Amino acid sequence: MRISYNKLQKLMIDNQMKRQDLMRAAEISSSVATKLNKNETVSLDVLMRICKVFHCDIGDVCEVILDE
């Protein structure tokens, strides 16, 4: 099982938001932003802060992909 933040990338593009903008708006560190880029797990708190920035649900930011 793995996680994908492709939906977050799309949200950022749609809102013309760069990595630095997201870091500032959601108050996340560069190491957390790197984890997001590498599709690594981050805390629920981080996901909630990102959802607050985009006024969306967690499912709009990430998805779990089941291994076959």
What is the per-residue pLDDT across 8-20, written as a single tens digit (0 to 9) for each? 999 999 999 999 9
- Give the distance from CA 56 to its chain's centroid: 11
Query: What pLDDT score does 10 carry?
Result: 97
Superfamily of domain 2-65: lambda repressor-like DNA-binding domains (1.10.260.40)
Query: What pLDDT score does 64 carry?
Result: 95
Strand segments (E) across 1-68: 2-4, 63-65
The pTM of the full predicted model, rounded to 2 decimals, is 0.90
pLDDT at 68 over 80: no
pLDDT at 63 over 80: yes
Burial of 59-68, coded b for 16+ CB within 10 Å and e otherwise, reads eebbeeeeee
Domain boundaries, the chain: 2-65
What does pLDDT average to over the chain? 96
Mean pLDDT of 33-60: 96
Best CA proximity match to 64, nearest among 16, 19, 6, 14: 6
